[in-house]
Chain A
Amino acid sequence: MSYLDYVRQFKLPHYWCPGCGTGVVLQAVVRAFEALGWKQEDLAFITGIGCSGRMSTYVNANTMHTTHGRPLAFATGVKLARPEKHVVVVSGDGDALAIGGNHFIHAARRNIDIKLVIINNLVYGMTGGQVSPTTPQKFRTQTTPYGNIDPNFDVVKLAIAAGATFVGREAVTRPRNLEKLIEKSFQHKGFSVVEVISNCHINLGRKNKMKDQITMLRWISTKTIPKNLAEKKKPEELEGKILLGIFHEDKNRKEYTELYREIQERAGGNK
């Protein structure tokens, strides 16, 4: 199957703003499906609310568009009912880390085999650009017109601390690396998290002297550095830099639906 078979092309053009990074993530996700040869009938693709939420309309598989912050909760139900299926969630920084932050840490704690991709565009883009838990400090948004004072989450550290067994980060400025990372995370058995630094030049960039996608993508490029290159740099050169790569991979921890099957057998079920 070609990656295009995983896209409902009759739904195009998509409704994201011109230059938005979300389309890059969609392409990386469907190319990973192609590379792995996943059958559409084995694939449950679940999204929540926000710009990322619309992806369940464009992906051609079993898809579900759920409520704000809850795609992981819905996905947990799907995975428990059909543990043999591939369950993929694409979410945003608002969806996964603000309103749905609780589901995020508990899905990670359980190590349930759900593949999570978080499109982190550093803002609530869909509603017009309000501060999110990943908005950098000093950034101006609709709800912080004189600059954000809230410290932001480090998604990678948060995911590792909460118990995710595969954690990586990429940026939309490196679409090929992104595709490879997503493909690798999809092969992992357990809760995987890929954070994708993305651009919202319309609702974040414009307020922060990055009004077009090129300027904002350049900013992401200068702000991010691959982990292997960072290892050769001095600490002062890495000040304020966002590292890209795989940060955590644990193949030993048991996956949740396996543990669940064991407990079912011990309780006399599943005979």
Chain B
Amino acid sequence: MSEIKILNGNAAIAWAVKQINPDVVAAYPITPSTSIVEHIAKYVADGVMTTEFVTPESEHSAMSMCVGASTGGARVFTATASQGLALMFEILYIAASLRLPIVAGIANRSLSAPINIHGDHSDVMAGRDTGWIQIHSENSQEAYDNIIQAFRIGEHKDVSTPVMVTMDGFILSHALQDVVVEEDEKVKNFVGERDPLYTALDVDHPITVGPIDFTDYYFEHKRSQMVGMENAPRVIKEVGEEFKKEFGREYGFIELYKMEDAEIAIVVLGSTAGTTKIVVDELRNKGKKVGLVKMRVYRPFPSREIVDALSNLKAVAILDRAMSPGALGGPLFTDVRSSLYESDKKPILVNYIYGLGGRDIAPKHIEEVYSRLEKIAATGKRGELLSYINLRE
């Protein structure tokens, strides 16, 4: 039987990892993801997990150990945030290029400087070109569910790509919420065993991993890496459908909230989607045709779904919790805008940067965005492309 537990996001992720019982976990403490690995350390010490739990001297070493273990055929998990993810960058690329299905739980946190421990998406947005699949969570339940699906997605032979599951630091990682946890056996059966295509520990079939590859074949190898990401949408969909059949909760690439007849909408990812839903409900009660598009899968970017969801709208605001200095707008904005280039009909788009360093975003701020969208829809005049929410200037 599934049961409801009161868990914060970190505990929810650790619970899923406990049930999956990976072969190796190598992780270094960093706020706000620390307690994920503390829970795991305790589960291992108590004999609840049989995982090899390693405490290296830095995140760079943690991810390197994950690569080593995964190359040897192991199922591998790690957790980190912010500067920790930034320190892993060299190895994030290597993990993806070697097609190693490592799963990482990320408690999103801002990047230095100035130092700040609170939640924003700067860390994972910087990782969007590393080749990792990136799945965002609105709440602790989704963080739990996404971890379970992440192993299936990443380890699928057609994908064979690492996956990061993210949640907003502190807002989710440290907030207690009701989480439906499934039966251990059911989770184990759903995830199954990792069956690697190659392993570095097969003495009868020795292989070489990551050797030098110059102008002769490097390009071909990088191109072949794309195949995993190209296959990922099909597998993400299949795994989501199977997950729904098994556990009853539905997951797609994006979630459409009251979008059927919407004329204006916000696109956002992470916990702010939850806040936005409250505002949408309130405005709907007042008869306003507003909706929300919540991004779940950010890499591979679901362009088709975005086009279908947004093409017929009058005005759309894309909310970014990260900056991309010198670009047209935030990372999510440029992806959405680029996707809509394929569409004949295009809504007017505006971009907002919000919540950097954990700056609060309240329903009233989101209401302001919708009220501006209403004006844009009525007048057809956009105004500033990029604005900031709840910022002193």
CB <8 Å contact, A145 and B29? no
Q: Which listed residue, A49, A53, A98, A142, touches B41 by the CB 8 Å rule?
A: A142
Q: How does the 8 Å CB contact mask read for B74-116 relative to A, with 1 for contact and 0 for none?
A: 0000000001000100000000000000000000000011110
The B-contacting residues of A in range 119-152, CB under 8 angstroms, are: 124, 126-128, 130-131, 133, 142-146
Q: How far is the CA of A101 from the CA of B114 in the complex (A)?
A: 24
The one of A68, A131, A142 in contact with B83, judged by C-beta atoms closer than 8 angstroms, is A68
What class of interface size applies to chain A in its complex with B? 20 to 34
Stretch of B31-39, B240-248, B266-274 with 4 or more beta carbons under 8 angstroms from chain A: B31-39
CA distance A54 to B31 in the complex (A): 15
Would B29 and A130 count as touching, CB distance under 8 A? yes
Instruction: Judge if B55 is at the interface, Cβ distance under 8 Å.
Output: yes
Complex Cα–Cα for A150 and B55 (A): 10
Q: Choose one: B57, B114, B115; the contact of A49 (CB below 8 Å).
A: B115
A68 to B34, CA, bound (A): 15
A143 near B41 with CB under 8 A, answer yes
**A65 interface residue (CB < 8 Å to B):** yes
- Chain B's closest residue to A126 (CB) is B31
Chain A contacts for B113, CB-based, 8 A:
65
- Decide yes or no whether A230 CB sits under 8 A from chain B: no
Decide: B31 and A127 in contact? CB cutoff 8 A. Answer: yes
Chain B nearest CB from A251 CB (Å) reads 33
| Secondary structure dominating the interface of A | loop
A144 CA / B41 CA spacing, docked (Å) = 7
**Contact pattern, A 82-106, Cβ under 8 Å of B = 1, otherwise 0:** 0000000000000000110100000
Q: Are A143 and B55 in contact (CB under 8 A)?
A: yes
A101 touches B37 (CB 8 A): no
Known A-B contacts A67-B83, A143-B29, A144-B41; the reply to A130 vs B34 at CB < 8 A is yes
Is the CB of A69 closer than 8 A to any CB of chain B? Answer: yes
Complex contact B41–A128 (CB within 8 A): no
Flag if B57 contacts A101 (CB, 8 Å).
yes
Considering only CB atoms and an 8 Å cut-off, how many residues of chain B contact the other chain? Answer: 23
Interface residues as binary, B36-60 with A (CB distance below 8 Å gives 1, 0 otherwise): 0110011001100000010101110
Q: List the B side residues contacting A67 at CB < 8 Å.
A: 83, 112
CA distance A99 to B55 in the complex (A): 12
CB distance from A57 to the nearest CB of B (A): 10
The answer to whether A65 and B114 have CB atoms under 8 Å apart is yes
Minimum CB distance partner of B42 in chain A: A145
List B contacts of A101 (CB < 8 A).
57
Q: 7 shortest A-B CB distances, which residue pairs?
A: A127-B29, A99-B58, A98-B57, A145-B45, A143-B41, A130-B29, A142-B38
What are 13 residue pairs bridging A and B, where the CB atoms are less than 8 Å apart in the complex?
Answer: A49-B83, A49-B115, A65-B114, A68-B30, A98-B57, A124-B29, A127-B30, A130-B34, A130-B38, A131-B55, A142-B41, A143-B41, A143-B53
Q: Identify the B interface with A (CB < 8 A).
A: 28-31, 34-35, 37-38, 41-42, 45-46, 53, 55, 57-59, 83, 87, 112-115
The interface of chain A, by Cβ under 8 A from chain B, is 49, 53, 65, 67-69, 98-99, 101, 124, 126-128, 130-131, 133, 142-146
A sample of 19 more A-B contacts (CB under 8 A), given A142-B34, A144-B55, A146-B45, is: A49-B83, A65-B113, A65-B114, A68-B30, A68-B58, A98-B58, A99-B28, A99-B58, A101-B57, A127-B30, A127-B34, A128-B35, A130-B34, A131-B55, A133-B57, A142-B29, A142-B41, A143-B41, A145-B46
